[in-house]
Each structure stands twice: as structure tokens, then as C-alpha cells.
Amino acid sequence: MRILVISDIHANLTAFERVLEDARNQWEYVWCLGDVVGYGPDPNECVELLRSMPHLCLAGNHDWAALGRLDIRTFNPDARKAVEWTRDTLKPENVAYLEALPTTFVIGNYTLAHGSPREPVWEYILEPVIAADNFDFFETSYCLVGHTHQPVIYEQSSAMGETHMIMPSYAKKRQLNGKRQIINPGSVGQPRDSNPDAAYAILDVETNVWEHRRIAYNIKAVQNRMRNVDMPDRLVVRLEHGW
């Protein structure tokens, strides 16, 4: 079975639809690693589109923020404004959907989490030393995470736990080699690796072949909708820069 692996849609329907179009007829099931909402202008539309597909989805920190599960006084003012708007906009049935999301999921040889296996909702795996610490917190060969909005593979390269970072080669199939790995598909709706194109991956779970992908989408259309609902300008502008 081929899986469409997505994360951090962040209420960006234009990017989400573009990814689905790009991956059309190339998957049977969706794994979504969380943060379906937050920042973008289309929270209901993104939740409803995801719900219309065969999928499983994990809870992200922004999903929890939209549910009021987090104290957002520590968020910066822009993020806080986006959270409050999202909270006010989400329909009750979509709130109920987000409330039921699990924080981790183990399926076959894959563990799924939004942030990390150690701290599923919160931890950012931004460097090999953090990845190295996390290999003790899951039992499968592979762990898939989102949260940083940066596509990457961390591979445990020795029994001593040494871990190195492999940058993605886009549109190239990669045979996972049995070495333990923590893999991030990147973000659909708000990339932060200086590349504004939507990121996602295709995974064949029978052959363990992974493919990172990028696809350009109509950023202006999203920015216009964000301005229409008076989202903070910094959040609008960052989409075109990919940070």
C-alpha cells in the first residue's frame, strides 16, 4: 500500500489541494502528522477535505491550541491572534474531530508523532543530537514526524547511537535500508526551509520506499484570503519566503 504522508497543513487549502492534485492516483491512504489548522485562512475546509479521504491523523500543538487545551499567553501576539481566529471559526463538528486525534500511532514498522516520539506534541527535532536522544522512545525501525516544517531524514548510523542528517533529494525514490530513521516529510501549508513550495512524501509500506516531494502552489491566493480575515501581516508574508 502506498501512503500519502503529509504534515502541517496549517489551514492552507490551496497548498493542500495542489498536493492532492500532484499526488493523484499515487496513494491509497493518508497519514497526516498533525497541525491541520492554525495560521492559515481555511481551517474548516482543510479538516473537511482530510476527513473525506481514507486517513489517520495525529494531534499537533496548533490543533490543541485551537481546542483551547493550551495556555496561549506564552504565544507571540501574531500566533495568538491566529489561534483566536481559528477557535472562533472552527465548526463544532470539526472541533470534535480534532479533539479525538491521538498523539502517537504505531502501524507496522512505523511510529507516527507530530513532534517527536519522546514528546509527541511539543518537541522539535531540529538537529541530529535531538534525534539521537529520541531513538530510545520508539520500537519500530522508522518514526515519522512533522512540527519543524523542514523535510529531513535522521539516520542512526552506529550501534553507539551516532546519528546523522540526510537532506532530502526530491522526486527520487529512496529505499529505506533497515537502519533506524526519523523522517520528516516537511510542511504542506507553511514550509520553513527557505523553499516556499508545499512539501509532502509518498511511502510504500510494503517495500519501504520513501520519496520526498515539493510542488509550487498559488501562494498569492492564500495570502489574499488571509488578508481578508485580517491575519497578521508577518504570517501572510512568510509564506512567500518559506520561513
Residues that bind Zn ion (CB under 5 A): 8, 35
Please tell me the distance from the alpha carbon of residue 182 to that of residue 108, in angstroms, as a whole number. 15
Instruction: Pick the closer one to Zn ion by CB: 78 or 204.
Output: 78
* Minimal CB distance residue for Zn ion: 35
Least Å distance, CB 209 to Zn ion, is 26
Which one, 2 or 151, has the nearer CB to Zn ion? 151
Kindly tell me which of 40 and 168 has the beta carbon lying closer to Zn ion: 40
- Min dist. Cβ of residue 147 to Zn ion (A): 6
Residue 68 or residue 178: which is nearer to Zn ion going by CB? 68
Measured from the CB atom, the residue of 8 and 155 that comes closer to Zn ion is: 8
Write down the least CB distance from residue 110 to Zn ion, Å: 20
Q: How far is the CB of 199 from Zn ion (least distance, A)?
A: 12
**β strands within 66-190, DSSP E:** 104-107, 110-113, 142-144, 152-156, 163-166, 174-175, 181-184
In 3D space, the residue among 88, 53, 63 whose CA is nearest the CA of residue 10 turns out to be 63
Minimum distance, C-beta of residue 161 to Zn ion, in the bound complex (Å): 27
